[in-house]
A = this chain, B = another copy of it.
Amino acid sequence: MNKVAVYRKEHFNAAHRLHNPLLSDEENEKIFGKCNNKNYHGHNYDLIVKVVGVPNPMTGYVMDMKILSDLINSEVLDKFDHKNLNLDTKEFAILNPTAENIVIVIYNLLRDKIDNKLDLKIRLYETERNFVEYPC
C-alpha cells in the first residue's frame, strides 16, 4: 500500500559483438548477421533503473536519487562505459552480450546492493528502436 516507483536514467557507451563460442563461425554469422562482425560495433546504451517501495515519511523519498545514481555509476557504468563488453569485462568474457543478457547482468549487479524491501526492474535501450526489460 502506498508504494511508489522511482526511476533513474543513466547511459554508457560500449563496443560489443554478438557471438556464441559454442557455435561454429558459420552458425554465428547466420544467426547474428552484421552484429557478429569480428571487429565489433557499438552503442549508446540508455539505462533506466526502477526502484519500488514505500516513501520514507521523514524524507518523502523511496530512495535518494543521488545515492541510486552513485550506485549505478559504481556498479555498472565504471564496469561497462567506454569498454568493449566482450574483451574488457569478466561478465561477458563468455556470455553473449545480447541486450537480454546485459539487462539480466545489470539487474544482478544492482540487486545485491539495494535493500531487499525495495523491488527492482531494469530497462535497457540498445537503440531508440530496440530495448529490453527485466524482470517481467
Q: Which residues of A contact B (CB under 8 A)?
A: 2-11, 13-16, 18, 20, 22-23, 31-35, 37, 39-44, 52, 55, 58-62, 64-66, 81-84, 87-88, 95-101, 103-104, 119, 127-136
Contacts and interface: CB of A to CB of B under 8 A. Distances in A.
Given A13-B43, A18-B60, 18 more contacts: A4-B103, A7-B131, A9-B130, A10-B129, A13-B41, A14-B41, A15-B84, A16-B42, A33-B66, A37-B84, A39-B88, A40-B40, A42-B42, A59-B96, A60-B100, A62-B100, A62-B132, A119-B136
**Main secondary structure on A side of the interface with B:** mixed
Contact of A3 (B40, B96, B135): B135
13 contacts: A8-B129, A13-B127, A14-B42, A15-B41, A18-B60, A31-B64, A32-B59, A34-B82, A35-B82, A40-B84, A41-B83, A61-B98, A62-B100
Contact of A37 (B58, B65, B88): B88
Contact of A82 (B3, B37, B83): B37
Report copies per complex.
6
